[in-house]
Structure 1
Amino acid sequence: MSQTVLFVDDEEELRIAGAQTLMLADLPADVHSTAEGALAKISRDFAGVLVTDIRMPGNDGLWLMRAALEIDPEFPVILVTGHGDVDLAVQSMREGAYDFVEKPFAPARLVSTVQHALEKRHLTLENRALKEEEAGEDKLETRLIGRSAPMVALRRMIRTIGATDADVLITGPTGAGKDMTARALHDTSERARHPFVHINCAALPVDLVESELFGHEAGAFAGALRARFGKFEHARQGTVFLDEIDSLSVGVQAKLLQALQDRQITRLGSNDPVALDIRVIAAVKSDLEAAVAAGAFRADLLYRLNVVTIDVPPLAARRDDIHSLFLNLAAQAARRYSKPMPDVPARVLAQLATRAWPGNVRELRNVADRFVLGLDPLDLPSAAGGDMTLAEAVAAHEKAIISAALGANGGRLKPTYESLGLSRKALYEKMQKHGLSKTDVTG
């Protein structure tokens, strides 16, 4: 299985032992020392499971379990407990925990429990996907939010390309949503019920890149005590997402090109090729043609990847979406931190719409988190700079204020123009000036 196991323990020795136990069983582990770090990874679409110690300082394992089950009541949570906490663990299972293991746990017991939980999670998500498909839900509208022209075009492109098996190159600045676009392509394809394996090429250890991607046999190198699947094999019948592919060395690029052309890999230490049934999506934030000219990226690999290219627009190119996007991100943050969704003043939305957002949606998400946690979201560098002129900044600010007022008044025009101190005619003229369609509101 390729699903990730979130493993949480405040003791470093136990985190290391748990991660090693899981990885030796070919179960990818994402290790955290705090409940909050793991909770940020959990969503209704998260394909893995959670293993957490009960006794931790601050927010403990029971708090994390309850927070996770609020996000998804069917999410499998495995509690790790000391001998004296068995009764507490049993009570927690009545509250929704999947299972528990006692310290010191036998590796085989942990692995078996996790594998069964992963199977349950796989079936849950598969059944949920079938129900959504039958109901005709369009996940794209909720995943890639926005009515701006760039976002409408992006969703149209995903619907067109997603159903094919074509390899795709995704370009766009940091934080714009390239990973979300890749997942959307996977979810709209025939491979949606199979693994989506996200590989951050920049984070791969230099001396283990080939082993991580293609796998190895026992004895292939010092420390290779047993055979191990690479990430390409884990993605069988699914999708491999190569994020920041331009960070790979030219030597690894050559082997990657061969694997993509032949749709097969050879594990380190083996002479036997392994056939691959996968789709490949790659993402870059840099100019690959410039990298080719500089000799840092192979031209033949670029041509192999860019049969279809999707460009994800920066947030500054779709300011009309900031209002709805911020509200959605704030609602997600409120669920994640188990806090009530606060009211968002129109002045906040108006000022957010005029910021430069060099970090794009990722930066906006951080601001939404700060807002939900009670911090001032406007405590940011002014965004009237960047590539916006003063006139553009003023126009964007006016448009944001009108859009926010319309939203605050449920789209009704009379209370909107009265709250803004405008006449009905003046409001109409400004809506036309800023491209705010009358059909988007009622009143």
Structure 2
Amino acid sequence: MTSTVLLVDDDRDIREALGQTLELADLIPALAGSFVAAKDLLTPTFDGVVVSDIRMPGRDGFHLLDYVREVDAELPVILLTGEADIPMAVRAMSAGAYDFLEKPCAPQDFVTVIKRALKARALVLENRRLKAALTSGDAASRMLFGSSALAEGLRDQARAAAKAGTEVLITGEPGCGTSKVAEVIHLLSRRAAHPFVKRAASSLTGAGLAEAFEAASGGTLYLDEITGLDAAVQLQLLDQLDAGQGPCVLGASTRDMQAAMDTGSFHAELYYRLDMMAVRIPSLRQRPEDIPVLFRHYVAQASEQANLTPPPVTPELTARLMAQDWPGNARALMNVAMRFAMGLSDMDAGEGLGLAAQMAQIERSLIVSALQRQQGRATDVARELQLPRKTFYDKLAKHGLRAEDFRRPSA
């Protein structure tokens, strides 16, 4: 978080006293005695906040506020006045001031407001950085976030798979984002101008596979949870691949493929055909350093969709996020981020709770959300959460939930 504070006041004694207050709070003041002096410091790259007296000779604090909003409408401006003037305070806030303080202001209150503004500024800058990342670089850089070595390795795997242009097998834990990785491979490939077609393997019949190949002609066919493909359709897929025509096939699985081959439910020849170019997605548990940037991205995304101001992500919250195992990986992190953005965060409710209690809250929230989406259909909820039926019912009992309470009454 930046610690630069542009402090503008024509009274030298007050300016220097407030500057000392900021220094004692480990903040770095930049002092200016007028609108003109402040203007010289307000470049488009200024990354701090502005604190300005309202009543100054020549151009006053309101003129400075207007100028700041032209430079950067999201740059916080805190206005000061020596008079308790309610209409002036209303005017300041209506004009877009971040806050309004009366002089003399208690040092603790003064610093608290500024630090809050700095946190808001840091969040704005972080969101801008994330948006810039979404529009720069190749598809792997824009869509697969993270600065860890494992994240960079995943981007490299996706690029290599796209360059090879062969069938690909994408594997990882539940919720790891196989679909997004498949889309990245498609966008990086020479087939990017052609269709990217997704199909759930478990729902495909022979006719359905033929239709999917036709729909993805010249492009990419992504088969989700490919171990669910019917045995006869597996053989049909092998024939299609051997023919060497049609789309490039990307198969994905979050299940144990070796076990599927051992039981005979998945054809070994098809596995080795797909596995000639393999992409393994690391879990969040393996790369906790990527969790903060992913969480902020999901919060910013959810806030933008709901037309809300993204709430600040505190260091304490970040530490709790990184300490968790995230068995649901990116999907679970996204769900928590969406609730946080909406002000419904179980992470906030977990203040002061131990890790186990916080995880229990998150687990309960995810189950409730799934029950609501599936209208209390236990089988569908267990399938969505990728839980064995017994485990699912054990969790319902643990959290005091009943599937029937989420069923809609029949008309």
Instruction: Give the 5 Å matches for 1:5-404.
Output: 137-202=137-202, 204=203, 209-214=205-210, 230-263=211-244, 276-378=245-347, 379=349, 383=355
> In structure 2, do the counterparts of structure 1 residues 383 and 240 end up closer, same or farther at CA, with 3 Å as the change threshold?
farther
SS of match in other structure, 2:316: helix
> In structure 2, do the counterparts of structure 1 residues 143 and 383 end up closer, same or farther at CA, with 3 Å as the change threshold?
farther
- What is the distance in 2 between the residues matched to 1:322 and 1:186? 25
Q: What's the offset of the Cα at 1:152? A: 0.9
Q: What's the offset of the Cα at 1:160? A: 2.1
SS of match in other structure, 1:353: helix
Structure 1 moving runs of 4+ over 6 Å: none
Partner of 1:80: none
- What is the distance in 2 between the residues matched to 1:342 and 1:140? 28
SS of match in other structure, 2:307: coil
Letter in 2 for 1:144: L
Letter in 1 for 2:223: L
Partner of 1:416: none
Segments of 5+ residues of structure 1 without an aligned counterpart are 1-131, 215-229, 264-275, 386-443
TM-score (norm: length of structure 1): 0.48
Contact 2:231 2:265 in 1 (8 A): yes
SS of match in other structure, 2:261: helix
- What is the distance in 1 between the residues matched to 2:300 and 2:196? 26
> In structure 2, do the counterparts of structure 1 residues 366 and 328 end up closer, same or farther at CA, with 3 Å as the change threshold?
same
Cα shift readout 1:341-382 (whole Å, capped 9, x = no counterpart): 111222111111111211000000000000011012415796
Contact 2:175 2:329 in 1 (8 A): yes
SS of match in other structure, 1:300: helix
> In structure 2, do the counterparts of structure 1 residues 136 and 348 end up closer, same or farther at CA, with 3 Å as the change threshold?
closer
Q: What's the offset of the Cα at 1:384? A: 6.3
> In structure 2, do the counterparts of structure 1 residues 382 and 181 end up closer, same or farther at CA, with 3 Å as the change threshold?
farther
Segments of 5+ residues of structure 2 without an aligned counterpart are 1-131, 358-411
* Aligned-pair Cα RMSD in Å: 2.1
Partner of 2:405: none
Cα shift readout 1:161-191 (whole Å, capped 9, x = no counterpart): 2122111001101101111111110011011
- What is the distance in 1 between the residues matched to 2:356 and 2:325? 7
What count of residue pairs does the alignment treat as equivalent?
A: 221
- What is the distance in 2 between the residues matched to 1:290 and 1:330? 37
Contact 1:368 1:377 in 2 (8 A): no
Cα shift readout 1:237-289 (whole Å, capped 9, x = no counterpart): 100001101001212111111111113xxxxxxxxxxxx43111000112222
Letter in 1 for 2:345: D
SS of match in other structure, 1:307: coil
The structure richer in helix per residue is 2
Letter in 2 for 1:250: A
Contact 2:183 2:196 in 1 (8 A): yes
Over the matched positions of the two proteins, sequence identity in percent amounts to: 37
Letter in 1 for 2:175: G
Q: What's the offset of the Cα at 1:159? A: 1.7
Q: What's the offset of the Cα at 1:383? A: 5.0
Letter in 1 for 2:166: A
Structure possessing the higher radius of gyration over alpha carbons: 2
SS of match in other structure, 1:282: strand
TM-score (norm: length of structure 2): 0.51
